A and B are shown apart, each in its own frame.
Chain A
Amino acid sequence: MAQTYIGAPIRREEDRRFLTGQGQFVDDVKLPNMLHAAILRSPHPHARILSIDATAALEMDGVAGVITFQDIKDTVVPRPIPIRMRTYVGIERFLQYPLAEDKVRYVGEPVALVVAETRYLAEDALDGVEVSYDPLPPVVNVWQSMQEDSLLFEEHGTNLAYEFASSIGDVDQAFREADYTHKEEFRCHRHTANPLETRGLVASYASGRQELTVWGETKVPHFNRGVLASLLQMPEHRIHFIEPDVGGGFGVRGEFYPENFLVPFAAIKLGRPVKWIEDRLEHLISANHSREHVCELEVAAKKDGTILGMRTKIYGALGGYVRTHGASVPVSTAAMLTGPYLIPNYEWDVKCLLTNKVGMGTFSAPGRYESCFFRERMLDMMAEDLKIDPTQLRLKNLIPPTAMPYELGRTRPEDYSLTYDSGDYPAVLKKALEVIDYENLKLTGGQYKDGRFHGVGVASFVKSTGTGTPYEGARVVVTGPDQVAVYLGISTLGQGHETVMAQICADGLGVPMEYVAVYHGDTDLMPFGGGTFASRGTTLAGNAVYGAAQRLREKILRISAGYLDVDPNDVEFAQGHVYRKTPSSGEPELDLNQVLELAGPASKYNQGEMGLESTHYFHSSQECYPCGAHAVHLAVDPETGQIEILKYAIAEDVGHVINPLLLTGQVVGAAAQGVGATILEELVYDDEGQPLAGSFMDYLLPTSLDIPAFDVAILDLAPSPINPLGVKGAGEIGIVATGAALSNAVSNALGVQVTELPLSPNKIKELLGRKTQA
């Protein structure tokens, strides 16, 4: 009677409401008497604020209030928006307050909040707030930042927010012994995730009960509730966060931003509900940016291609303030730069530098997309120099499965060693090569055919997943004969938790999946929740659901056995019914409703525990490491500078698979984002620090004409040994190797070494110019 929901390609429970227009996103929340907010943002990248005068705005029709730093000062000072994870000493000097005080440090920084009867009137009234600025010299890149001619925070005397330099092994020795060394400077471009739904919040304060309710918090609602409670000096239990449906996250949505304080603050101050919906321009100049790093990388190897060591200097452009991710993106870039390869000697120096641009946060696979690009480009350069096939070079250096678990070492500032839990990296690369037919295809690399240059590129990766906060919880409750509720501490941003967690619960408990309803996105459901990031949903919350369901199943067996007066080992629970094992009649002894009654407060069989419910927290302080390889064949049009992807093969191993339909959807979706990010997207700033990408006409997201068909092979060679379901995080992995594989293929096509992203048509034309010169 074994159930097999886990592993089955089950269609999503949640689709129907989205297909019929019945989803409820934050902008669909409408409260009586609700006001609307608009935000006045700095037009200067770096300037002193001389004065703010809101008199004219306050006289305008429908304006209910204007909030500036002076209004929030007594509430928030000295508590700027804190770092959410990986707080390192010194970096807290550069945090952001919800509104600018006497200085602005990026175009888009909130200076005032205007609240009015409609969004139209609130936006009108932004013109009525007069701000006088004294512009200062902008810092627009990491080199300018290090020169320190212009300081973002004069009081701290430096633009270097944080530095982490260390090593594993003996790098000097490796370089002394090397037959071959190569040094290169790479640059990864500033871009961001751009979920299709912009950010938004609705806040309502019941002054009589002193209860604050906020809609639109997502990703890390429990953490954000703590921050808001601290900033407002309110007890956490009086704050209720409700997550509506969410139009994508990908790292950027759901962090604690200035607006997450301002909107609730305005609702309390004005005594009416307040809604704020970000527009796309605001999103592009205020939500976290990511990825901008310069990397100096040096490799040491034997002439047969065996890598002996690597040295790197990483310069991360943090933006105008340290945001909730602190230094974690540049630190992650260095931490896993050696990737899936056996590189025992490694030295790094990470500098996190302030620049007059939007603060850095995460976009899927933060730091991993970047470091994979740096490393995999370097491997291809090495392969060319040493006249070794790039795939052979990789196979020679990939960590063999016999070395698992593989202790990489302490490559993060925290006092723990990164350990790859399991994986057959060579087999996964071989699979990608087989899917794309590399042996035949490699001959087309570098050829000019049909007016285009053809290129083939390959990249391997490994990614840490499933941590951040070392636990996640779930509560499973039987509420009727065919009703089971699952309550999650994590939120969902479109992934499909309602289906995946129902599958896990149904198998763990032993009920038909139709019984199970999954609830999430309300901080009152569970007292704790780490959040939805770092591909931790299934690894941590999935295992929590499984654990809670199994414990509840054991309880059902104990209570049933007590009533039937048999040993608990002689009964089983499946498909929602209790059966006797021996002698088995095939007929159920009890249904779920009968067990529920036996567990009731009035029953003598309840064994002292009322009702049928179980709460379980799954703990894991260890990360699990999915791996994969991408192989791509593309053609570059020298006339237009455009890339056409002809074949794109992906092989990935995430351990055991809960739902292959949803997994493939996430892998392909992430890969599509990576293709767009690599060939189209960039948050361009001019030399004066002005952002030039303020709409989807300047910031090009990939369309159906840009994205290739991906050939995806999902392998299950190496289940994670560190959790009961044997799963590894899957949400972000599809994006990791996209920049690397595409840039290797373009380099192969043009015979010119790509060292910078993106590979947009204008950049391709520059590369073609270098090719002609060569």
Chain B
Amino acid sequence: MTSSYRAVTLPIKLTVNGKEYQSSVEVRKTLADFLRDELGLTGTHLGCEHGVCGACTILFNGDAVRSCLMLAVQADGANLTTVEGLAQEEELHPLQQAFQENHALQCGFCTPGMLMTAYAFLQDTPSPTEEQVKEGISGNICRCTGYAPIIQAILQTSKEPPVRKAGE
């Protein structure tokens, strides 16, 4: 016989795209659902909800993580950046610019996760080879582009002046 679920919540405090949030969150809620449903940051997408497709990738204290595989309560005290934090008002981040110039997106659903993965990758590997870029984004699935334009966009960004940090 099934018994009803008893919701348990915990308070969390975190910074997302430079803005501080405090919330009381159900302990079983994923970080992705928290960002999307409670903070309204719907740029973070869910393609598989089991950590394979990479569409939900965000920066967690600077590292690329899958927000569908984390609970919101695990983000207590963390500093997060989502795709909404990449552009500075009207000015696109060079990575975003390069994605547009290279036609590196079609339906746009994988794009936020791809951008965040690429951003973290370029922080770690500022002057990558093509093979390194392929390896770097191999955990993100795109069904539209065949990846070549995405790889080109990332390589192009790496050859430009130092990449501005998101939120700076």
- Which residues of A, 1-56, contact B by the 8 Å Cβ criterion? 11-12, 14-25, 27-28, 30, 56
Cα A661 to Cα B149 in complex, Å, equals 11
Task: Let me know if A668 and B148 touch, CB within 8 A.
Answer: yes
Confirm or deny: B28 has a beta carbon within 8 angstroms of a beta carbon on chain A.
Answer: yes
- Taking a contact as CB atoms closer than 8 A, the residue among B50, B111, B148 that contacts A18 in the complex is B111
Confirm or deny: A128 has a beta carbon within 8 angstroms of a beta carbon on chain B.
Answer: yes
Confirm or deny: A672 has a beta carbon within 8 angstroms of a beta carbon on chain B.
Answer: yes
Known: A11-B103, A696-B50, A696-B141. A196 touches B109 (CB 8 A): yes
Cα A124 to Cα B46 in complex, Å, equals 20
**0/1 per residue, B34-52, Cβ < 8 Å to A?**
0011000111111111101
Write out the residue numbers on chain B whose beta carbons fall within 8 Å of the beta carbon of A661.
103
- Which residues of B, 93-110, contact A by the 8 Å Cβ criterion? 96, 99-101, 103, 105-110
**0/1 per residue, B118-137, Cβ < 8 Å to A?**
00000000000000011101
Nearest-neighbour CB distance to chain A for B38, whole angstroms, equals: 11
Closest to B87 in A: A20
Task: Let me know if A496 and B43 touch, CB within 8 A.
Answer: no
Cα A666 to Cα B144 in complex, Å, equals 7
Confirm or deny: A72 has a beta carbon within 8 angstroms of a beta carbon on chain B.
Answer: no
Nearest-neighbour CB distance to chain A for B61, whole angstroms, equals: 20
Task: Let me know if A709 and B148 touch, CB within 8 A.
Answer: yes
Known: A21-B84, A280-B47. A247 touches B134 (CB 8 A): no
Confirm or deny: A435 has a beta carbon within 8 angstroms of a beta carbon on chain B.
Answer: no
Closest to B52 in A: A696
Closest to A709 in B: B148
- Taking a contact as CB atoms closer than 8 A, the residue among A19, A121, A128 that contacts B111 in the complex is A19
Nearest-neighbour CB distance to chain B for A478, whole angstroms, equals: 28
Task: Let me know if A20 and B107 touch, CB within 8 A.
Answer: no
Confirm or deny: A304 has a beta carbon within 8 angstroms of a beta carbon on chain B.
Answer: no
Write out the residue numbers on chain B whose beta carbons fall within 8 Å of the beta carbon of A121.
5
- Which residues of B, 1-45, contact A by the 8 Å Cβ criterion? 1-2, 4-5, 26, 28-29, 36-37, 41-45
Write out the residue numbers on chain B whose beta carbons fall within 8 Å of the beta carbon of A496.
106
Specify the main secondary structure of chain B where it touches its partner.
loop
Write out the residue numbers on chain B whose beta carbons fall within 8 Å of the beta carbon of A128.
2
Task: Let me know if A697 and B50 touch, CB within 8 A.
Answer: yes
Task: Let me know if B146 and A494 touch, CB within 8 A.
Answer: no
Confirm or deny: A695 has a beta carbon within 8 angstroms of a beta carbon on chain B.
Answer: yes
Task: Let me know if A11 and B101 touch, CB within 8 A.
Answer: yes
Write out the residue numbers on chain B whose beta carbons fall within 8 Å of the beta carbon of A245.
107-108
Task: Let me know if A15 and B42 touch, CB within 8 A.
Answer: no
Task: Let me know if A27 and B42 touch, CB within 8 A.
Answer: yes
Write out the residue numbers on chain B whose beta carbons fall within 8 Å of the beta carbon of A124.
2, 5
Q: Interface residue count for B (Cβ, 8 Å)?
A: 60
Cα A666 to Cα B92 in complex, Å, equals 25
Task: Let me know if B43 and A669 touch, CB within 8 A.
Answer: no
Confirm or deny: A198 has a beta carbon within 8 angstroms of a beta carbon on chain B.
Answer: yes
Write out the residue numbers on chain A whose beta carbons fall within 8 Å of the beta carbon of B92.
16, 19-20
Write out the residue numbers on chain A whose beta carbons fall within 8 Å of the beta carbon of B73.
none
Write out the residue numbers on chain A whose beta carbons fall within 8 Å of the beta carbon of B107.
18, 195-197, 245-248, 493-494
Nearest-neighbour CB distance to chain B for A650, whole angstroms, equals: 11
- Taking a contact as CB atoms closer than 8 A, the residue among A16, A494, A695, A696 that contacts B144 in the complex is A494
Cα A748 to Cα B43 in complex, Å, equals 46
Confirm or deny: B53 has a beta carbon within 8 angstroms of a beta carbon on chain A.
Answer: yes
Task: Let me know if A701 and B141 touch, CB within 8 A.
Answer: yes
Confirm or deny: A67 has a beta carbon within 8 angstroms of a beta carbon on chain B.
Answer: no
Task: Let me know if A60 and B100 touch, CB within 8 A.
Answer: no
Write out the residue numbers on chain B whose beta carbons fall within 8 Å of the beta carbon of A60.
2, 4-5
Nearest-neighbour CB distance to chain A for B8, whole angstroms, equals: 13
Task: Let me know if A703 and B139 touch, CB within 8 A.
Answer: yes
Task: Let me know if B83 and A20 touch, CB within 8 A.
Answer: yes
Write out the residue numbers on chain A whose beta carbons fall within 8 Å of the beta carbon of B60.
none
Confirm or deny: B165 has a beta carbon within 8 angstroms of a beta carbon on chain A.
Answer: no
Write out the residue numbers on chain A whose beta carbons fall within 8 Å of the beta carbon of B59.
none
Write out the residue numbers on chain A whose beta carbons fall within 8 Å of the beta carbon of B166.
none
Write out the residue numbers on chain A whose beta carbons fall within 8 Å of the beta carbon of B96.
19-20
- Which residues of A, 657-712, contact B by the 8 Å Cβ criterion? 661-662, 665-666, 668-669, 671-673, 695-697, 701, 703-705, 707, 709-710
Task: Let me know if B100 and A12 touch, CB within 8 A.
Answer: yes
Residue of B106, B111, B133 with highest tally of chain A CB at under 10 A: B106
Confirm or deny: A348 has a beta carbon within 8 angstroms of a beta carbon on chain B.
Answer: no
Residue of B28, B92, B96, B109 with highest tally of chain A CB at under 10 A: B109
Cα A600 to Cα B107 in complex, Å, equals 39
- Which residues of A, 240-259, contact B by the 8 Å Cβ criterion? 245-248, 250
Known: A197-B109, A246-B107. A61 touches B52 (CB 8 A): no
Confirm or deny: B80 has a beta carbon within 8 angstroms of a beta carbon on chain A.
Answer: no
Q: Range of interface residues on chain A?
A: 35 or more
Confirm or deny: A434 has a beta carbon within 8 angstroms of a beta carbon on chain B.
Answer: no
Write out the residue numbers on chain B whose beta carbons fall within 8 Å of the beta carbon of A704.
133-135, 137-138, 140, 147, 150-151
Task: Let me know if B106 and A495 touch, CB within 8 A.
Answer: yes
Write out the residue numbers on chain A whose beta carbons fall within 8 Å of the beta carbon of B29.
120
Task: Let me know if B144 and A56 touch, CB within 8 A.
Answer: no
Residue of B141, B144, B147, B151 with highest tally of chain A CB at under 10 A: B144
Nearest-neighbour CB distance to chain A for B128, whole angstroms, equals: 13
Nearest-neighbour CB distance to chain A for B99, whole angstroms, equals: 6
Task: Let me know if B148 and A19 touch, CB within 8 A.
Answer: no
Closest to B4 in A: A61
- Taking a contact as CB atoms closer than 8 A, the residue among B87, B103, B134, B143 that contacts A705 in the complex is B134
Closest to B116 in A: A21
- Which residues of B, 64-87, contact A by the 8 Å Cβ criterion? 82-84, 86-87
Confirm or deny: B115 has a beta carbon within 8 angstroms of a beta carbon on chain A.
Answer: yes
Confirm or deny: A127 has a beta carbon within 8 angstroms of a beta carbon on chain B.
Answer: yes
Write out the residue numbers on chain B whose beta carbons fall within 8 Å of the beta carbon of A197.
45, 47, 107, 109
Write out the residue numbers on chain B whose beta carbons fall within 8 Å of the beta carbon of A194.
143
Task: Let me know if B115 and A697 touch, CB within 8 A.
Answer: no
Nearest-neighbour CB distance to chain A for B82, whole angstroms, equals: 7
Cα A57 to Cα B3 in complex, Å, equals 9
Closest to B41 in A: A21
- Taking a contact as CB atoms closer than 8 A, the residue among A18, A195, A250, A709 that contacts B105 in the complex is A18
Known: A127-B2, A279-B49. A18 touches B28 (CB 8 A): no
- Taking a contact as CB atoms closer than 8 A, the residue among A11, A30, A666, A695 that contacts B100 in the complex is A11
Known: A696-B50, A696-B52. A22 touches B2 (CB 8 A): no
Write out the residue numbers on chain B whose beta carbons fall within 8 Å of the beta carbon of A671.
146
Task: Let me know if B99 and A19 touch, CB within 8 A.
Answer: yes
Confirm or deny: B155 has a beta carbon within 8 angstroms of a beta carbon on chain A.
Answer: no
Write out the residue numbers on chain B whose beta carbons fall within 8 Å of the beta carbon of A703.
137-141, 147
**0/1 per residue, A532-548, Cβ < 8 Å to B?**
00000000000000000
Write out the residue numbers on chain B whose beta carbons fall within 8 Å of the beta carbon of A666.
106
Task: Let me know if A701 and B143 touch, CB within 8 A.
Answer: yes
Q: List 30 A-B contacts (CB under 8 A).
A: A12-B103, A18-B112, A19-B92, A19-B100, A20-B43, A20-B86, A21-B42, A21-B43, A21-B112, A27-B46, A28-B42, A30-B37, A56-B1, A60-B2, A61-B4, A120-B26, A194-B143, A195-B109, A196-B143, A246-B107, A248-B143, A279-B49, A280-B50, A662-B103, A665-B103, A669-B143, A669-B146, A703-B139, A704-B137, A710-B148
B residues adjacent to A (C-beta < 8 A): 1-2, 4-5, 26, 28-29, 36-37, 41-50, 52-53, 55, 82-84, 86-87, 92, 96, 99-101, 103, 105-112, 115, 133-135, 137-151
A residues adjacent to B (C-beta < 8 A): 11-12, 14-25, 27-28, 30, 56-57, 59-61, 120-121, 124-125, 127-128, 193-198, 245-248, 250, 279-280, 493-496, 661-662, 665-666, 668-669, 671-673, 695-697, 701, 703-705, 707, 709-710
> Closest 10 CB pairs between A and B?
A21-B43, A494-B107, A18-B108, A247-B109, A672-B146, A696-B52, A21-B83, A28-B42, A19-B96, A668-B146
